[in-house]
Structure 1
Amino acid sequence: MYAGTKMIAVITRETRLEGLKQRWGTASQADFLLEAAFDHEVERRRKARSAKGLAVSEDDFSMIATSASELTDHAAYEEEDETYRKSLRTLMQELDVEVPVREVDRRYLPNFDFDRCLAVVVIGQDGLVANVAKYVGNLPVIGVNPDPARYDGVLLPFQVSEARAAVLRTIKQKARIEKVTLAEVNTITGQRMLAFNDFFIGCRTHASARYTLEAGSVREPQSSSGVLISTGSGATGWMSSVFNMAAGVSRFVTGKEVPRLTLARDDRKLMWAVREPFTSRHSSAEQVMGLVNDQEELVIGSQMPTNGVIFSDGIEDDYLEFNSGNIATFTVSQQRARLVVG
């Protein structure tokens, strides 16, 4: 039926249990460490109460154990892993539509040739959809929720049982597509990166970031814990924490709320904010928040001798070096993510 067409890529990610096994070598070692973490947390909480002169009753101990188990519950890790694996197996069976299907781990996204693909199916959390969308160009992305009881799935509109129909509509170009604005950065060293949710510009360590920030015709030297640049998709994520902090400070100082700025996912503009700006002889804080409209740009010049970085969507391992002398220009990208929504 579809002989001769390109492949369908199914993007997967490791579960938390797989991550533990990779880190500690074996399942038994991972089990041992989770059990040790539970025992340690129970004892720590018991000692903390005792240090305050509080007796620990059986009910208190039960409550402490319950709280600790929520942090180190191996059964939850196993259940999550099994649910994901079962969903993936079912999905691969559902996608038998006479088009070759290739499973791709998210670690290989930067090097995978998506030009060979007809469509991209993502099975995982919302963050995986955001990460994939930066690499696929104009290909439609179909988000599948492997565990609706665990994941809200804002970017995962389809259940596993609905994936086949969604893929067929996509192949026939009858699917309903939502176009989502991406952010883009280009540096004078020739590097380029996209962001679905947000960019972070700062220092890899907890040291202050030193840079110049140019918005419009105003250029300012700054020192801060970094700059956050958000799309409409990211406005309810990391950027929302900036408003949470501002609202809390405002309530404490003035008793009033700070209005929140929001963007829709398809708005052709970006929102930026400077985190914890510091004023000194060499730095000021006149420009701490603003918008970048379509065809406009925000320019940041690094003054960090070492450890300066730019990364997107919280993926710290996939970063651009941003050290002294490098200049980065942030814009609304002409490329948009194309999410299948119906």
Structure 2
Amino acid sequence: RAAGLARVPGSIVALVLATAAVAVFGLPVETIGSRFGGIPAALPDFTLPAFSWESARFLLMPTITLAALGAIESLLCARVADGMIGDRHDPNQELMAQGVANFVTPFFGGMPATGTIARTVTNVKSGATSPVAGMVHALVLLLVMLAAAPLAASIPLATLAAILMFVAWNMGEWREFARLKTYRLPYRVTLVSVFLLTVVFDLTVAVEFGIFAACLTFIYRISSLSRAERITAAEQPLLAGQDGKIAVWRLYGTVFFGATKLVESLEDSLPARALVLDLKNVIYVDSTGAEALEGLSKACEARGVALIVSGLMGQPMDIVRRIGLYQRLLGHLQPDVASATAAALAMAEASS
């Protein structure tokens, strides 16, 4: 019995006791009924809103921001719940259900909503282990609206304010501020900035800035992970005595607009005979990176240097085909760096 009582949310206990105390002692505090006249005791009517471009163009960015925020919030909430109950959610199902619900509710006077960590954690701590808990939650709210609306009108607003403050405090994730010292400076700046913008301005501005800052941080991190490494004769014995004639470079990471300097720098130090470019460890090439590779190919052709590419596969192979660079490299593609080095040596000897 004690274990069962322990699962009763404390906010419900506080709500019931405070409402009873106000009614018994006649305390002079405002209630839902005295301030708002109570809560509706019937289902809302279907209402078709007025659509106009003048309104839509001002709502476009807030709509996109809230949709992105709602998706992130709901998936994060589902992830937290997975860890608490040892389950695994279906992201597509979560987002489809949320999207359909948020599309329908405005026609009945509703507001967009997401899965929230505060309610989910409360549900789990009360014994919830499946999506049925959310259905029960909705049915209880429906029951309160249809049958207990007069009783809900007696709830003191001060009690609701205290519960909301408690929920907001639990949602704050204040421990993250204590953990900031373990993260790099860009993450610290982003988190603190988003927090301050939320308090000073509003959530829309904070989310827009947060997404922008996260994109910049991601670009910086990815570009810093991309690198070029020159292969020497210690790894490829065929390169012995070929300094200045043959150069072999291996690229790592991604070749995108933030890392094209890796390819452009190769143009400044081209060898006399052949350049081998090993792309086995390149996982992604964007359009700007592809143009940089094409520019390198043209520079080699203009200076009479053979460009041999090895290890080209996956997405990099696809974009090289789409921009037409694959046709320029026909006869100069090799499966691995050893074969490419041997081919470069043969070309160098044939041209000398």
Same-fold call, TM cutoff 0.5: no
Structure number with bigger Rg? 2
Structure number with the higher helix fraction is: 2
TM-score, normalised with respect to structure 1: 0.25
Structure number with the higher strand fraction is 1
Q: Which has the higher contact order (CA 8 A, sep 6+)?
A: 1
